[in-house]
Structure 1
Amino acid sequence: MTDTLDRADPVTVFYDHGAEQVVLGAMLRDPLVIGEVEAIVSAGSFHKPCHPLLFEAITYLREKGRKTDPTSVAGYLADEKLLTRMPGGVLYLDELLEAVPVGAPVGEATYYARTVADKALLRDFDAGLEKARNDIRSGAASNPASLLERTRVMISDLGMRAAGDGGPKRWRDIIRPGLDAIELAAEEGSGPPGIPTGIPDLDRLIHGLQKQRLYVVAGIPGGGKSTLGAGDFVRSAAFEHACATGVWSMEMTEQELFNRLICAAARVPSDKVTDGTLDTDDWTAIARVCGQTEDAPLWIDDTKGLTMADIRVRARRLKQQHGLELVVIDYLGLIESASSAPRNQQIDEMARSAKNLAGELDLAVVLLAQMNRAYAQRADKRPVLTDLKESGGIEAHADVVIFVHRDEQFDKTKRLGEADLIVEKNRGGARGTVEVAAQLHLNRFVSMAMP
């Protein structure tokens, strides 16, 4: 029994059944072609209903080390009761062999494979645009920013497919770039490969804030997570190293963040700004810092109620216009979600989106998060990953998790003016604790180690 679609052999904008036949025929004729074709297309690339079945049968037999000639493939299809899905049964395999140009080299098969892949790309593009149109017309697109972001992600993914990005790479193709990266690191000396955090001991442990990585900075309220993530990291990146930095602050206003950054850089007690008691020396220090940092590549967005989709759209714009290198989000618990899923699932999706943002835009992302206060009831107050509020998704997607811990928050007689930056997760590196001076009156942490 055959499908009437299988009797046609058309060429349209969205599929080329003739090219599909050449690809499958070449795979049946020469096992060496199969690997080359697999690197270009998948079963989903084929349009004619019987062709994905044939492709999967051939690649399955090859994976199992079995023969992939027409007789073997026909036998496998018969055993799986799939042979009746072929138009004409076993005779269709002969038709595929005849479709291959006589003496065609491997390059001929890969040429037709790329044609098949291109047609599949156009089909998926059309389907994605059609879904977006339907969402608009049906009223499902209640959040235009979210719809635009989904469409952009779809187009970005298709663009990567069109460019041939992604997918497995052969070892020999990785050797040269790998050695070049090692050589470059050696030439640059002992400094961190990522953006310096402003705290040398922390840089030695996590090697700076590196591209395509998600850094979670966590603490209890008032513990100093914003001071570290939205303060020290930002000043080091934007003010000291001219790295384009974007801060999304859903907790503090633009003015509050300005006050914190300027007081820390000028070393002026923040309560003087709040009380309006700045003296002449304070004003001089603030004016000097303003002059020095006027052209700093720093952008601050204090819009409330943003979703991760909103942040990604705005970050992407800064990346295109200014070469954004670092994103800081303060903080996870205040990010809005359009989902009706349980909160822990929403948090998981937000953390995943933050990690994807780092990879898509090739930058570092610092995400601030709160800890559960329950850990304060334990005898051992040292935080662990499960102390993250709604922790599962956060710890799964983060590359580095840094807890800001101060003993004096639990016992006013212990280690006054000191804090521990506890690196509890460090993908590809060691965990450890960095002791710092907590100069919170200046909104800053300072390394206690000698330079």
Structure 2
Amino acid sequence: MDNPVSNEYRQVPQDGDAERAVLGSIFFAVKSENAMVEASAILVPEDFNKLANQTIFKAMQALVDENRPIDMLTVQDKLNSMHQLENVGGMAYLAEISESTASSANLKHYANIVREKSVLRKMIDTLTRTMSLAYDAAEPSEDLLAQLSRSIDTIAENRGDENFRKIKDVLQEYQANLDEAVKNDSDVVGLSTGYPEMDKITHGFRNDQMIVFGARPAVGKTAFVLNIARNVAKNEKVPVVIFEMEMSATDIVGRLLAGEGSIDSNHLTTGQMTQEDWQALTLAMQSLAQMKIYMDDTAGIKINQISAKLHQLERDLLSDMTQEERIQNPHPIGMVVIDYLGLIESNNSESRQQAVSEVSRAIKKMAKELNTPIIALAQLSRGVEQRTDKRPVLSDLRDSGSIEQDADVVAFLYRDDYSRGDSEDGDGDPREEQEAVPIEIIFEKNRAGARGTATLMFNKPTFKFNAMAPLYRNDMNAGAPDVSPGW
């Protein structure tokens, strides 16, 4: 096999003709300031490979800022004031640039060529630095992979796309969403949780939302979000990602099987299975095998590692899609579940409060980047136990008020039997006497809707949440849910 050419003798991607054509098009334009605005929407000075071209572009930007026209004389004057005229090649090089193109009509085309070469150079620089760090072996491979993924994502996200969107374009997108909602003829405009009473409050979980569910330990929050994850993967047929830091992947599967098959989890744990259990297990396994559920049970995972893994999964999913599918759905991950927020390690923060704030902001950022709802579980402070009414409120979120600020939806799980001390292990101990208990899902913040409370029945042996039977609800004297604004 032929040896590849050594990088030492390879020229970095660049196009000197295109760089000069960009600058020449600005010289040639009737309204040079408009041409400069068009070029600046695509390029920054550092996108030019030749230092002289970078400097000239900076001089042109300065002239625009000073409301001065751009021509050879004004650029010469600005370069003189910057003490850079001779460094760029003097008037001779400016004359060469002005003669490099006869029209400004192709300015955008030339600018895109320059930008493309710049992206390739940044990729080479990023990969070279990563390769050097890998040779040094001074950092764990997982950290290097996370850094590399972040760097590649940053390059991809800053390829010269316009930062501002015209309201006309956004209005068209809004109209399309409204038309889809009208056609849908349903209260649910996002992902259905599988629980109509919850969907009535949230209208479904929407793309780029950060949803936080909080509860005291052992109330049942892990079982709850696993039920939602299973419902979404099964009914919406979208990829669902679960980050679980307290249990193993096999434990997660055990809970999913118990819920899907309505099987007593104690039977699954001990192997003391009935014939009905075996039949239900077979069907549950077949059902789960069809779902696109991805699990990560890394303990002590860092927030940048979560981001890197999600972006990598997105790329993998896109690579398996047709071009038409990628155009229709550029962000294929349907939902992400993180259990739980307090166990994620931050990248830099020292105090616990700073760490949780950093993690919270990063989760919201990921939801927007991936255009997918992210559910994060959170612990509550012990202060809730000191009150007569132990129903949680926003101020009970543990470690950081930034969770409340970052989240689009905040809801709390409340179990009356747990609060009264009737339950020793509320997260699904099948040995408890009362097999099914009502759990209130109290929506304290709902940025896109109203606050409210949904009540579900939690079957502890099977880890399964179900809608409450009407007769049971009547016995509880349940009233209409609070629908006060949720922002």
TM-score bracket, shorter-length normalisation: 0.7 to 0.9
Out of 183, 206, 211, which is 1:210 matched to? 206
1:447 matched to 2:467: yes
Q: Mean Cα displacement is larger for which, 282-291 or 371-380?
A: 282-291
TM-score by length of 1: 0.79
Out of 436, 450, 454, which is 1:434 matched to? 454
Measured against aligned partners, the alpha-carbon deviations of 1:216-254 in whole angstroms (never above 9, x if no partner) come to 22211012211211x221220223443222322221223
Corresponding residue pairs, total? 428
Q: Superposition pairs for residues 263-282 of structure 1, below 5 Å?
A: 263-274=258-269, 278-282=273-277
TM-score by length of 2: 0.74
Q: Superposition pairs for residues 106-145 of structure 1, below 5 Å?
A: 106-140=104-138, 142-145=139-142
Percent identical: 26
What do you get for the CA RMSD once the two structures are aligned? 3.8
Residue type matched to 2:337 in 1? V
Separation of aligned partners in 1, 2:142 and 2:370: 18
Separation of aligned partners in 1, 2:29 and 2:449: 44
Separation of aligned partners in 2, 1:24 and 1:85: 22
Measured against aligned partners, the alpha-carbon deviations of 1:55-87 in whole angstroms (never above 9, x if no partner) come to 4424434xxxx5545699789969xxx924341
Checking the alignment, whether the CA contact within 8 Å between 2:26 and 2:104 is kept in structure 1 is no
What does residue 483 of structure 2 align with?
A: none
Out of 249, 253, 260, which is 1:258 matched to? 253
Structure 1 residues 172 and 207 mapped into 2: Cα distance closer, same or farther (>3 Å)?
same
Q: CA deviation at 1:143?
A: 2.0
Separation of aligned partners in 1, 2:14 and 2:352: 41
Gaps of 5+ in 1: 1-10
Q: CA deviation at 1:423?
A: 2.3
Separation of aligned partners in 2, 1:407 and 1:93: 82
Checking the alignment, whether the CA contact within 8 Å between 1:248 and 1:330 is kept in structure 2 is yes
Structure 1 residues 74 and 324 mapped into 2: Cα distance closer, same or farther (>3 Å)?
closer
Gaps of 5+ in 2: 1-10, 321-331, 424-435, 471-487
Q: Superposition pairs for residues 7-406 of structure 1, below 5 Å?
A: 13-14=13-14, 16=16, 18-19=20-21, 21-22=23-24, 25=27, 29-46=31-48, 47-48=51-52, 50-51=55-56, 53-61=58-66, 66=67, 68=69, 83-87=81-85, 99-100=97-98, 106-140=104-138, 142-162=139-159, 164-165=160-161, 167-190=163-186, 192-229=188-225, 231-274=226-269, 278-319=273-314, 320-321=316-317, 324-337=333-346, 339=348, 341-406=350-415
The 3-state SS of whatever aligns with 2:241 is strand
Structure 1 residues 28 and 347 mapped into 2: Cα distance closer, same or farther (>3 Å)?
farther
Q: Superposition pairs for residues 414-425 of structure 1, below 5 Å?
A: 417-425=437-445
Out of 420, 429, 451, which is 1:411 matched to? 420
Checking the alignment, whether the CA contact within 8 Å between 2:342 and 2:378 is kept in structure 1 is yes
Q: CA deviation at 1:160?
A: 3.9
Checking the alignment, whether the CA contact within 8 Å between 1:216 and 1:402 is kept in structure 2 is yes
Q: CA deviation at 1:104?
A: 5.3
Structure 1 residues 284 and 133 mapped into 2: Cα distance closer, same or farther (>3 Å)?
closer
Q: Mean Cα displacement is larger for which, 358-367 or 313-322?
A: 313-322
Separation of aligned partners in 1, 2:228 and 2:308: 23
Structure 1 residues 429 and 55 mapped into 2: Cα distance closer, same or farther (>3 Å)?
farther
